[in-house]
Amino acid sequence: MPRQLGDLEDAVMTRVWQWNRPVTVREVLEDLQQERSIAYTTVMTVMDNLHQKGWVRREVDGRAYRYTAVSTRAAYSAALMNEAWSRSDNPAAALVAFFGMMSPEQREALQDAMRIILPDLAGPSGASAGEPGDAPADAPADEPADEGGRAGEREGATAPGPAGGNNGGRNGAPAAGASGTASGDPADGAGAEAGR
């Protein structure tokens, strides 16, 4: 299950995600020291802990380690949201409340995401598929549409799968074979991660 990063863990991971390349403790330390007074051993311990928890992988480079993010910031954020939502005793009400808290920019980002993951929802005119009275273009003329605008079951027809699908790693664990590269997602300005 994902666990929210602590303040210092988040400060370290933010740099790892933003830089999107293998980093050393010294590089992270020098950048952190622009904001706060912090010891090398503290940063080294935090990065070792992040490695032990599965947030970063590391490779030996001379006498030091180079650390790389296991996943992206977007995946980390998604895992936290999924964990919070799955704990709700009323998931539908939780989603309604969450959507009600969104800014107009967040709602637009959600609509963009929905168009990407569920392209079948937007018809040629931009209207949502399945609006009452609108039979799909591939529906045979002799098969009336039901109240939801869908043609009756036809041999060989397949129902769309559930939204969400594969989330990479299960329960927030890093996806197997994750490259560690940042997504370049303009919404988060970096990349993210899902950890243990």
- Report d(CA 118, CA 112) in Å as an integer: 10
Amino acid at 105: E
- Phi and psi at residue 61, to the nearest 5°: -135, 95
**Residues 6 or more apart from 74 whose CB is under 8 A from it?**
183, 185, 187, 188, 191, 192
**Residues 6 or more apart from 176 whose CB is under 8 A from it?**
169
Q: Tens place of pLDDT for every residue, the chain, 196 residues? A: 567 899 999 999 999 999 999 999 999 999 999 999 999 999 999 999 999 999 999 999 999 999 999 999 999 999 998 988 889 999 999 989 999 999 999 999 999 989 998 877 655 554 444 444 444 444 444 444 444 443 433 333 333 333 333 333 333 334 433 333 334 343 343 333 333 3
Amino acid at 173: A
Helix, strand, or coil here: 168? coil
